[in-house]
Structure 1
Amino acid sequence: MGPASEEKNEVVMVWGGSTSVGMNAIQLARAAGYTVVTTASAKNADAVRSLGADVVVDHRSSSAVDDLVAAIAGRPVAGAVAVGVGSTDACIDVLSRTGGTRLAMVSTPVSLDSLVGRRHLFPAMVPVFTRIGLGTLRSTSRARRLGIRAGFVWGSSLRDDDTGECLWGEVVPRLLAEGALRPAPAPLVVGNGLEVVQDALDRQRAGVSAQKVVVRL
């Protein structure tokens, strides 16, 4: 990591630190001077530490929430980023016990895997998106009752507002030039040309950890 901004006493929690979103969230939070606690498998723990995470907890552990609360150790929590199915409720659990009040959700509460490969999407989409809607409503209602402001953040959310303009036009180029932001995760190049796109999708579905599937055109 390159030099960080002035250190703060606040913590940012990232659930899903070895995902592409998580890896970049860790770096941006660390460059802004926050302490970062995150989750990742033991296999990817060193990788996310190298990006600036101060504490890494195994997300598969039954004590993951308790371990994150202990790592925060009573410090103020600036916010949490929930990446991955099941991450929203886990983050709400941590925030409710640490006094955090802001949660950014970047994943749906239900996996879309059941829709992959279907020739006719519409009939199958109805129950899946119903579950997504009900799950999101349940989680956000629970968060609201606990005094936590939760909202979805998609890539398009930052495209046209002032935050996106500042982030992509100023912050990211500057941090890349300073070395405080590294392109992550590492690319997994599966081939060249449109003819290997299906192979890339199959590789992605088979499971990729701490890597980004890439096709060169």
Structure 2
Amino acid sequence: MKAVHISKEGRDLVERPVPEPAAGEVLIKNVAVSSNPKDWKLPIFIPDYSAVEGNDIAGTIEAVGEGVSKFKKGDKVAAFTKMKSGDKYGAYGEYSVSPANTVAKLGDKTSYEDAAALPLPFATAVIGLFLRLGMKEPGSSSATESDGALLVWGGATTVGVYAIQLAKLAGYRVVAVSGASQDVAAKYGADETLDYRNKADEALAEEIRKSNGGKGVKYVYDAVSENGTVNVAALALKDVEGAAYGHVLPLNEEELKVMPSNVHVERILCGTSHDNVDADFAEKWFDWLGPALEKGEIRPQKVTIVPGGLEGVKEGLRRLAKHEVKGEKLVYRIKETPGLD
């Protein structure tokens, strides 16, 4: 099969054998795949990193491994594949293997392109909100005003739009911080939007504390986690009883020193979806995802098709690295790849 091999040296279209699913896994024939910022960062920050990258796919089940009973050949699905696990699980190929617990069965209303935009950021949002921050899940015990509000920093980011929607489904009021894309955060359900640009940390923190009708927020989901966002969050959550702060990018001990003792701090890692600890939780939510898309309970982020199929991945990763992608997800149609049989 054709696949994109990513390393420090390049993003080359190569030939690779079709992978085989092990027990608890499925093989998917990809129709559409998408990029995440980590796809261009890994070869830069990990010495000698070299693999077929990517983790967001949509396509049809080609084969199932031992013990997999809820999927069969031909099922229309989207999947979040294992991260940093070599060529077998990479999205940038004609075929990919995924653990069955992070595969969502799709309905007729959901396009492959829209579905490919979802899996990794959806998993990151779900795990961050309901496991790491400890917020209530949607259902009979959904949140009330007394449960506090959520701030999503990066409300127009790939992860942010799903964090907003999921928190709203759970009953929370949501305040979103973004720049020029405040309209995107509002479109996906944010009750209020704040512009971080050209403001001192103290001034923006005061805006956050005055948001939500003067009640401020109890939770901060930091989908940016750089350029001092932790400093503003620390000021905004000061003296808030039961406050929690979750960050998606690593922050060192020195950076986290600013966080007051009343704030519970957690790193948000979507890769735990494939660990024993969070695997069952992730499976529950991926089972929920397909029907929720059909009913419009959750909406995919806007997608932009990059021409050329897998050949277009090089251009897509260039755009991400240059920060040219705002409020959208870059998607590639496999059938557009030059030289496919």
TM class by smaller structure? 0.7 to 0.9
Superposed displacement of residue 60, structure 1: 1.4
The alpha-carbon distance between structure 1 residues 93 and 166, as it changes in their structure 2 partners (threshold 3 A), is farther
Superposed displacement of residue 194, structure 1: 2.5
Any stretches of 5+ residues in structure 2 without a counterpart? 1-137, 335-341
Q: After superposition, give the CA deviation of every residue in 1:49-78 in whole Å (9 maximum; x if it has no partner).
A: 121100100021413222111103454744
Of 319, 323, 338, which residue of structure 2 is paired with 1:203? 319
Superposed displacement of residue 210, structure 1: 0.6
More helix by share: 1
Q: After superposition, give the CA deviation of every residue in 1:165-216 in whole Å (9 maximum; x if it has no partner).
A: 332223x3343233121001x1121212322221111122232111112222
Which residue of 1 is the match for residue 181 of structure 2? 44
Which residue of 2 is the match for residue 8 of structure 1? 144
Letter matched to residue 54 of structure 1: D
Letter matched to residue 108 of structure 1: P
Of 137, 149, 165, which residue of structure 1 is paired with 2:283? 165
Take 1:91 and 1:179, find their aligned partners in 2: how far apart are those partners?
Answer: 32
The alpha-carbon distance between structure 1 residues 27 and 146, as it changes in their structure 2 partners (threshold 3 A), is same
Take 1:61 and 1:166, find their aligned partners in 2: how far apart are those partners?
Answer: 42
Which residue of 2 is the match for residue 35 of structure 1? 173
Take 2:250 and 2:159, find their aligned partners in 1: how far apart are those partners?
Answer: 14
What secondary structure does 1:104 align onto? Answer: strand
Which residue of 2 is the match for residue 131 of structure 1? none
Counterparts of 1:1-217 in structure 2, within 5 Å, are 8-9=144-145, 10-41=148-179, 43-62=180-199, 63-75=203-215, 77-84=217-224, 85=226, 86-109=228-251, 136-143=252-259, 145-160=260-275, 161=278, 162-170=280-288, 172-184=289-301, 186-206=302-322, 207-217=324-334
Superposed displacement of residue 104, structure 1: 1.1
Letter matched to residue 167 of structure 1: W
Take 1:70 and 1:50, find their aligned partners in 2: how far apart are those partners?
Answer: 22
CA RMSD of aligned residues (A): 2.3
Take 2:240 and 2:197, find their aligned partners in 1: how far apart are those partners?
Answer: 21
Take 1:139 and 1:205, find their aligned partners in 2: how far apart are those partners?
Answer: 24
Any stretches of 5+ residues in structure 1 without a counterpart? 110-135
Say whether the 8 Å CA contact 1:69–1:97 is kept in structure 2.
Answer: no
Letter matched to residue 183 of structure 1: P
Compute the TM-score of the two structures, normalised by the length of structure 1.
0.75
Say whether the 8 Å CA contact 2:306–2:316 is kept in structure 1.
Answer: yes
Letter matched to residue 168 of structure 2: R
Which is greater in Rg? 2
The alpha-carbon distance between structure 1 residues 96 and 166, as it changes in their structure 2 partners (threshold 3 A), is farther
Identity in percent:
26
What secondary structure does 1:14 align onto? Answer: strand
The alpha-carbon distance between structure 1 residues 152 and 7, as it changes in their structure 2 partners (threshold 3 A), is closer
Take 1:168 and 1:87, find their aligned partners in 2: how far apart are those partners?
Answer: 30
